[in-house]
Amino acid sequence: MTMDKKRRPIGVFDSGVGGISVLRELRRALPNEQFIYYGDGINAPYGVKTTEEVIALSKAAAEYLLSFDVKAIVIACNTATAASHAALSACCPVPVIGIEPAVALANTMRKDGKVLAMATPGTIKSERFANILREHGEFCIPMPCGGLMEFVERGEVDSPALHAYFDELLKDCKNEKIDVAVMGCTHYPFVKEALKAHLPEGALFVDGSMKTLQQLKEALEKENLFADEESQGGVALYSSAGEDSIRLMQMLLDMP
């Protein structure tokens, strides 16, 4: 194992800017690592595309990241994970780590109320999500959120239009006691503060980034690929949607 192999970057991709929420957690936990982030904004949203379309787009994103000689790939997109994780794991020469709605974790945090699992229509319809519900969904309300990620893609994380969206989305849940909201799309953590006004006081929020981080660490350890402690970490941002999208990524990356 050469030092150069350890210094190779970690690739992260999403359908747009949402995966920045995952990248932030990875950077905090792995400050010595170099990251290459690719947002496929020109083809967003993935959540309304067919499984075949998402697999094709995910393969193209993975090939782009592999051109940077990455040592691992993180699919920072629930929809892409559900559709393409198996396909990418089979064809990529590096470890591939996905993300999925943290319904199981939310169940451990639930008291006597319900778990609201918010995700894209594509994730909600996937077989992977169906398996999650079969195992952990007894107290879960699946909530397809068509159109929500587009607010984040516009940099709109707290606006009258967003609050009107939540009013309409959650109108049938007004009488439900929601203990935990699952942020089942990597875009959704950026609208958490706005969402709080539409859920019961004290409702908790959870996403899948911590499990993804754990799995990435395990993959790097297994292959002895952790960057050395003296290595200087960093991030390079790329987008199929151009410079405006990259500027939005940087703004979201810098949010506290």
Which residues belong to the active site?
77, 185
SS3 category, 236 = strand
As to burial, measured by CB atoms within 10 angstroms (0-12 exposed, 13-18 middle, 19+ buried), residue 202 is exposed
Task: Tell me the CA distances in angstroms from 161 to 149, 176, 215, one per residue in order.
Answer: 13, 23, 37
Task: Tell me the CA distances in angstroms from 145 to 26, 50, 142, 151, one per residue in order.
Answer: 26, 16, 10, 11
Q: How far apart are CA 36 and CA 235, in angstroms?
A: 6
Is the CB of residue 113 less than 8 Å from the CB of residue 179?
Answer: yes
